[in-house]
Structure 1
Amino acid sequence: MEANKTLKVPGATLYYQVRGSGPVLLMIPGGPTDAAIFADLVPHLTDRFTVVAYDPRGNSRSVLDGPAQDVDADVHGDDAHRLLAELGDEPAYVFGSSGGAVIGLNLAARYPGRVRVLVAHEPPCGRVLPDAEEYVAGTEEVYQAYRDQGVEAGMKRFEELVGLSGEEQEPPRTPPSPEMMEGWGRIGGNLDFFLAHVLRPVSGYLPDVAALRSGSARIVIGVGDASTDRQYAYRSAVALAEQLGTPPTVFPGDHGGFVGRSADFAVALKRALGGA
């Protein structure tokens, strides 16, 4: 099956793509990215799953009804819940990357009956760390840099905050597909919305560890084998896994390992989802 669809939700219209057959696997992208970030990963999953990737509200093709406003993890979690309800009654498999992993954690905590397994890959939940106050203050600095000096300054301060400034990114093993390149072209148009209305409310989310531990969904926290403890998302993932009482699951590549190492990443993701 292959289809591009939209779903009306309160305050926005979500764009989503459906590929493959089998149980539903919802793919949640992070930050200013959209469904195309998974374009090279999805073909490796459609033999086992009906893969559904979407643009979070305010990004790319998921348009808002009115003026932009802050979007927190609860709003994003509600969107994911409504999308899963549109897709059927059975609990779904869910994969979230970065900020998308934060959304997945919110979804699994608040709507556990909707989620069979959640793989949350490097969620930047800075509030689980011992230096949480420093992280929260850092996100405010990012926002002020954006307000005072614009997108470029805001993104520069953001990369410094999350530990990506000056870091060598792992080179891709395979060239990106045209669909992914098209998606990268859209990301620039999402940066204003991300810095103004998403970064602070989503990265400030504190996962409900008690609900996650007691819920019916199985929670897998993922980290990249090329990520480092200089990076907030990696540190947050390790700390959250410890609070959940389970070791983190190691995936190929760095924070975006599914981009440059999609085939290897898909093998690890299928293994983590298990039983599908």
Structure 2
Amino acid sequence: MGRIMVRRQVTRVSVGGRSASRSDVLAAEEPLEIRVGGRQLAVTMRTPGHDVELAAGFLVSEGVVAHAGDVAAARHCAGIDGENTYNVLDVTLGPGIAAPAPELSRSLYTTSSCGVCGKASIEAVETVSHFDVAGDPATLDLAALVGYPDLLRAEQSVFDKTGGLHAAALFAPDGSLVVAREDVGRHNAVDKVIGHALLAGLLPLRGHTLVVSSRASFELVQKATMAGIPIFAAVSAPSSLAADLAEDRGITLVGFLRGESLVVYAHGERLVDSTAPALVAAP
């Protein structure tokens, strides 16, 4: 089972006084300190596993890297007590890639639920992307899009056992699943997906679709922007800032993607209904 899941003895209680003790499985949550060139950049609470992808995706989101060669190496190293707990990851940038500016360093740890907590200033959140997402001419058939949540759900093996993880998946222009990842933090799941794509040399992700099992927040739309992803779909609702950012950056934003229906919040012109040739009207 490793460190992805942890067993714990619990008591199940029902109204009327009935109770029973049993073993339960919880999703593991541990800190990961991300360093670049030996200098601490951030600490995030995450589900252990795919840590290099997580760090790489985080650096994409921060505007530090944009291509596979920008990350030369990454290794787990010892913490301040000298013991290697595999909770500290040091990234070496490729030749010519500038180290993160000091103001990017997060003074507080990043929680499992918030991808922007601890930023030095709110202005630093709106990082400039290396890629032109608005100019991506991608289109996507609604019949394919409504099937993506089921494909993502089939990849959530740890969620099946714990019920406590978010998930994100990346789909190619032909509808095939590129990668899916789970994590206690929705922003971490997205970073792992984007990091996988970076290390595989796939950025910018023109024509691709990002699907998340959670709501669509500002920081997740920002991450899609930084990776060059033109279509972002969530099974739950977007926030107002997420919709505003998607509209401004040219991202097709879909929420409440459930069953055969969905809600379009920005740039619906990329969505095509094969049963009715006209493009979906933008809001």
Same fold (TM over 0.5): no
More strand as a share of residues: 2
More helix as a share of residues: 1
TM-score by length of 1: 0.31
Q: Relative contact order: is structure 1 or structure 2 higher (C-alpha 8 Å, sep ≥ 6)?
A: 1
Q: Which has the larger radius of gyration?
A: 2
